[in-house]
Amino acid sequence: MDASDATCEEETRHILSVESQHPHAKNEERKKDCSSLPAASFNYVNSIVGSGIIGMAFALNQAGILLGLILIIGLGMVTDYSLIILIRSSLISGTNSYQGVMKAAFGKVGYSVLSLLQFIYPFIAMISYNVIVGDTVTKVLMYYAGLESGNIWVRREVVIAIITLCLSLPLSLCDGMAKFARVSFISLVVTAFVLCAIIIRLFTLGPFVPQSDDAWVLAKPGITQAVAIASFAYMCHHSTFLLYGSLKQPTEARWARLTHVSVFTSALIEIFFALFGYATFTGFVQGDLLENYCRGDHLMNAARIMFCVTILLTAPIEGFVARDLIMSTLSVSSGNCDGSNAKTKFLPKIIVSFSLVTATCLISFSTDCLSIVLEFNGVFAAIPLAYILPALCYIRLEPSSWKTWHKLPAIMMAFFGILMSFSGLVMIFVNWGMNSSCSHGAEMSYCPLWVNATQTKF
């Protein structure tokens, strides 16, 4: 059984087995290990709203203002549908994991493909979090500490390593999604602060930013890049069954209600980030929106730090998925499929968590361009995981003919995902080495004008 297969019902059965010896432990353990709808929604939204939201303005720039908004809204609806049919497919097949659904639909080959993609997505997502940390915290330290760029304490590699050691690694050792609900709530509050700062700067910094020639073009040819970034931003399918398993009384109806609310909330957040960020910088917007703001901007420096806090609180959720996948693979390979002898899992959990955090930390040293990381993950992992595989599983497992009308949305979703993945791969190779969306830490040309004209900085 996969480590991600543990549901509240299984935990309840364990509680009942020891209830006679610990009669007062039952309610405490259920309360501890399962999430209410609001708590599960915090985790749900937090698993969606990660580093991808900071690239939504760039996605809008790639596709055009009107087409970009249509894509963001449309992909939100498609994501909602795919999450619903994924759980429905699990109920049809009698499985309780994404891997189980794929294995029921396509055998061991499907299981292996899904496992690989399900690991790639959170792994690259954790890299993107480190890239943001390295870019933003470094600039804040340089400005307020008055240190030169060559100083060892403001080198992005050193900053990433210290924050990884002090924050990311300890949080990655947490156990379970339900216990992370409070952290997810804090993360969403921080996201609201960052959004408010972006809105304020639309009116106070925006007038000093020259508009690009194609600022308000309704549609542009960069549809594939926009879909890849937006798909990355919406993707939470790799943690679907962790979320479903952490829910009290998990049923299809409760899951559907939770999904509708959480995806709708996430879509609104992403639309706001895209619109207000793009309206401020138009065609000059970068893959990392926070790179567009001036170094001496106190409000946005606070937003940079707060956003780093947000993604650092999100990173462990991604780490849980990657860790559980590795742990389940190790368990199967060792023949311990029933999850017995749980005490021996403590040391492997520590080793796997440490290895994951260390690997993503080291890889993030190689680039400071967020848009490349987002597009890469979107094309290689997010689009297949979010659109192609759930649709194919539902088409295969649902007993009615594939020609029936209620399977048409799934067929269209699978076709759309395949088209975007292939075109995205082509665009990545065509644009290889062209990091035009990154300033690599340079101060923007409009910043001196804004500093000279503004006496009071927020």
The pLDDT score that the predictor gives to residue 181 is 58
- Which of the listed ranges 158-167, 326-335, 397-406 does the model predict with the highest average pLDDT? 158-167
The pLDDT score that the predictor gives to residue 315 is 78
The rounded distance, in Å, linking the Cα atoms of 241 and 4 is 7
**Helix, strand, or coil (residue 455):** coil
- The answer, yes or no, to whether residue 247 has pLDDT greater than 90, is no
- The answer, yes or no, to whether residue 33 has pLDDT greater than 80, is no
For range 186-212, the mean pLDDT: 90
pLDDT confidence tier of residue 9, bands split at 50, 70 and 90: very low
The pLDDT score that the predictor gives to residue 436 is 55
Residue pointed to by tokens 């997505």: 121
The pLDDT score that the predictor gives to residue 28 is 44
Yes or no: say if 286 and 278 are a contact pair by the CB < 8 Å rule. Answer: no
User: Where are the strands (E) in 346-449, listed by range?
Assistant: none
Q: What is the tally of structural domains in the chain?
A: 1
Half-sphere exposure of 419 (CA within 13 A, CB side): 9
- The answer, yes or no, to whether residue 344 has pLDDT greater than 70, is no
Tell which residue, 173, 171, 176, has the closest CA to residue 31. 176
The pLDDT score that the predictor gives to residue 63 is 93
Residue 116 amino acid letter: L
* Cβ atoms within 10 Å of 353's Cβ, excluding its own: 24
The pLDDT score that the predictor gives to residue 441 is 64
The pLDDT score that the predictor gives to residue 432 is 65
Please tell me the total number of residues recorded for the chain in this structure.
458
For range 216-232, the mean pLDDT: 90
The pLDDT score that the predictor gives to residue 408 is 93
Q: Is residue 3 part of a domain?
A: no
Yes or no: say if 52 and 130 are a contact pair by the CB < 8 Å rule. Answer: no
- What tokens does 190 get? 């921080």
Tell me which residue range forms the domain holding 203. Answer: 38-453
**Helix, strand, or coil (residue 213):** coil
3-state secondary structure 220-256: CCCHHHHHHHHHHHHCCHHHHHHHHHCECCCCHHHHH
- The answer, yes or no, to whether residue 17 has pLDDT greater than 70, is no
The alpha-carbon radius of gyration of the chain (Å, integer) is: 22
- What tokens does 304 get? 């940079």
Yes or no: say if 47 and 240 are a contact pair by the CB < 8 Å rule. Answer: no
What is the signed CA dihedral for 225, 226, 227, 231, rounded to 10 degrees?
110
Q: Is residue 84 part of a domain?
A: yes
Tell me what percent of the residues of the chain surpass a pLDDT of 70: 84
The pLDDT score that the predictor gives to residue 8 is 45
- The answer, yes or no, to whether residue 301 has pLDDT greater than 60, is yes
Kindly report the pTM of this predicted structure.
0.81
The pLDDT score that the predictor gives to residue 176 is 57
Strand partners of residue 247: 35
The rounded distance, in Å, linking the Cα atoms of 242 and 6 is 8
Q: Is residue 8 part of a domain?
A: no
**Helix, strand, or coil (residue 192):** helix
Half-sphere exposure of 174 (CA within 13 A, CB side): 22
- The answer, yes or no, to whether residue 251 has pLDDT greater than 90, is no
The distance of Cα 408 from the centroid of its chain, to the nearest Å, equals 28
Q: Is residue 252 part of a domain?
A: yes
End-to-end Cα, the chain, rounded Å: 53
The rounded distance, in Å, linking the Cα atoms of 273 and 280 is 11
Q: Is residue 9 part of a domain?
A: no
Residue 75 amino acid letter: L
- What tokens does 363 get? 């890889």
The rounded distance, in Å, linking the Cα atoms of 219 and 67 is 5
The pLDDT score that the predictor gives to residue 336 is 56
Q: Is residue 290 part of a domain?
A: yes
- The answer, yes or no, to whether residue 10 has pLDDT greater than 60, is no
Contacts of 330 (CB under 8 A, 6+ apart): 348, 352
How high is the mean pLDDT of the chain? 82
305 CB burial (10 A radius; 0-12, 13-18, 19+): middle
Residue 226 amino acid letter: A
Q: Is residue 20 part of a domain?
A: no
The pLDDT score that the predictor gives to residue 189 is 84
265 CB burial (10 A radius; 0-12, 13-18, 19+): middle
In tens, the pLDDT along 127-173 reads 988 988 888 888 888 888 877 777 888 888 999 999 999 888 888 87
In tens, the pLDDT along 67-90 reads 999 999 999 999 999 999 999 999
Q: What is the CATH number of the domain that holds 80?
A: 1.20.1740.10
- What tokens does 390 get? 């759930």
Which of 224-233, 237-246, 449-458 is the least confident region?
449-458
The pLDDT score that the predictor gives to residue 20 is 39
Greater confidence, 13 or 314?
314
- What tokens does 164 get? 């990884």
407 CB burial (10 A radius; 0-12, 13-18, 19+): middle
Tell which residue, 12, 19, 15, has the closest CA to residue 250. 12
Strand partners of residue 35: 247
